[in-house]
Amino acid sequence: MRFVTYGTDDGDRAGVLNGELVHVLPPGTTLLGLLGPELRQAGERALAEPDEVVALADVRLKAPIPRPPSIRDCLCFLDHMRGCLKATGAPGVLEPTWYQIPAFYFANPATVIGPHDDVPISPGSAWFDFELEIGAVIGAAGRDLTPEQAVEHIAGYTLMCDWSARDLQGLESQLKIGQAKGKDGATTLGPWLVTPDELPFGPDGRLALHVRAEVNGALVGQGRTDAMDWSFGEVVSYASRGVELQPGDVFGSGTVPGCCLIEHLDFGDLAAFRGWLKDGDVVRLSAEGLGEVRQTVRASAAPHPLAPRADPAAVVRPPRRNPARSAVPYTRGLHQVGAGVWAWLLPDGGYGRSNAGLIAGDGASLLVDTLYDLPLTAEMLAGMRPITDPHPLSHAVLTHANGDHTHGGQLLPGSVRVVAAEATAHEMRAEMAPELTTALQVMDLGPVLTPYLRDRFGGFDFGGIRLREPDHTFDRRLTLDVGGREVRLLNLGPAHTEADAVVHVPDAGVLFAGDLLFVGCTPIVWSGPIANWIAACDTMIGLDAPTVVPGHGPVTDPAGIRAVRDYLAHVAEQADAAHAKGLDLREAVFAVDLAEYAGWLDAERVVVNVYQRYREIHPGQPELDRFALFALMAEWQATRS
């Protein structure tokens, strides 16, 4: 039999499903109250003499047991655990204890939702995931059960989805006390409770169902429940040791391998990952005999922040201060830098603290870059409204592909034409999903790298970002008309990235240099070659713009461009000399003499710059991924602080 619960204006009603009709049980009857020997008898009476009959299509199903006494989420599929370990860069080898006892944790019965209810993203989470599971519902009380007895205590099975905030889960795992808010958001049960006699079982007694998981109609994973390493009988038996199980207690199977997002995450190929769940995504989970659930993911309000406690063991570092002089006050917000031209500045110019620009013409305006997350971009766009209300945004130029210049694009009106170099558009498509940057905030990467990354990236919110790709691309040059004003775009890359565009406003004498220019903070050569960046500096100087807005740092003039040019030449000389001496990369970066550039913020970026120069000299130099480069930067910084 298939039992359902649905909501009405007068309260919940329970019934038995017969084809597409619900044979309704008497008012006040609940499935929880019927569990045990009376369940089948009540179902047979409802089929023969229903209180009423309603069409399944006309009711809104709830979870069959809307408020279970308890939920134990088990980990019956060890391949799922191996996949999770591999996703985080571990070898995927489980500790011996996993093979000795079944694992489970308690989920929150108060967060149970129905099979078609919207699912709220856990507040503060950028890594929201689903997990397709099967739920076994206890029908009769019992304790100290054998596995064979435990199976007889199961009243039926239902589809189950354990919604998981992977970033919160990863952060909380470092407390080493078990699951917490990362698993506290929602649990789906439904659409119905199916008695065991209607379901197939294998010769070993394991439930044998084919399951399938999709997001927005695209297959994520599929598998079989008879691949369980620990059977329901075994996990229920284990849980009953010294404990009285109650009718309605739910036991989740754990995730069927592949039927979640995290197992498809590969830090060696981040661009291949589809990304975590976002507002509006539709998740469809199905299992033969158990039906399907279809739910839409919805954004939640931001969480109320909590101030961290003082860490008595923390190393007290001096406050960061950008040492460069500024042509305008170097304060957060909008500053006019020319006739009808403004810069949005975000001190201190370190990682993610980038600048943007606004160019206003007659009844139209152009935005130069967005910011690293949605709250920062929303603040900027609100601050620009006194200009953009009378001169609405018509264009937005992305100077390059890095997230601190592109992540806020979804907040732009649909009428805005987003423009970028073709190589920038290509790099945006190839980069990892924006929310994966949360890894820099939550992953435990060791005692040196973890605090370094959290210090640099901890203040940003990467949740809910949907990357907006350019509407129009160009190769090397493009001239735009913005309300009668000429705005020139020049792609001077590759240098910092695959393409690096500058935005020149000739009639105002203003140049937006993007990340070809860092002022008071250290440039970082992600792409190179360094010689091309030096040539780009020469081109920018040749534009003879008296006011220059860098991608990071305070507003400057051509002297600021010359300083970056000289830094790059100095680093190339240092790297060439080290290579000529036979020093390997590690020896070279720790021996480098930064001279007058040692006081620039984030001086440890010299690690990446020397690495790129070494690869230019010797293309066979072993390639390092960004985590390896960040680790070397963190180590370099620790030795200099």
CA distances from 208 to 214, 287, 290, 605 (A): 20, 10, 12, 54
Nearest to 365 by CA among 377, 355, 357: 357
Average pLDDT of the segment spanning 612-628 = 91
pLDDT of 80 reads 95
Start-to-end C-alpha separation, the chain:
69
pLDDT in tens, 321-343: 999 999 999 999 999 999 999 99
pLDDT band at 91 (very low <50, low <70, confident <90, very high): confident
- Res. 23: pLDDT tops 80: yes
CA separation for the pair 619, 611 (Å, rounded): 11
pLDDT of 268 reads 76
pLDDT band at 267 (very low <50, low <70, confident <90, very high): confident
Burial class, 484, CB count within 10 angstroms (exposed 0-12 / middle 13-18 / buried 19+): exposed
pLDDT in tens, 124-175: 999 999 999 999 999 999 999 999 999 999 999 999 999 999 999 999 999 9
Question: Residue 453 half-sphere exposure, CB side, CA atoms within 13 Å?
Answer: 21
- Res. 243: pLDDT tops 90: yes
pLDDT of 15 reads 98
Query: What b/e readout covers 396-427, taking b as 16+ CB neighbours within 10 angstroms?
Result: bbbbbbbbbbbbbbebbeeebebbbbbbbbeb
pLDDT of 284 reads 98
Burial class, 629, CB count within 10 angstroms (exposed 0-12 / middle 13-18 / buried 19+): middle
Query: What b/e readout covers 437-476, taking b as 16+ CB neighbours within 10 angstroms?
Result: bbbbbbbebeeebbbbbeebbeebbbbbbebbebeebbee
- Res. 632: pLDDT tops 80: yes
pLDDT of 88 reads 79
Please tell me the least confidently modeled range out of 97-111, 230-244, 611-625. 611-625
3-state secondary structure (DSSP) of residue 191: strand
* Percentage of residues in the chain having pLDDT higher than 70: 100
- Res. 498: pLDDT tops 80: yes
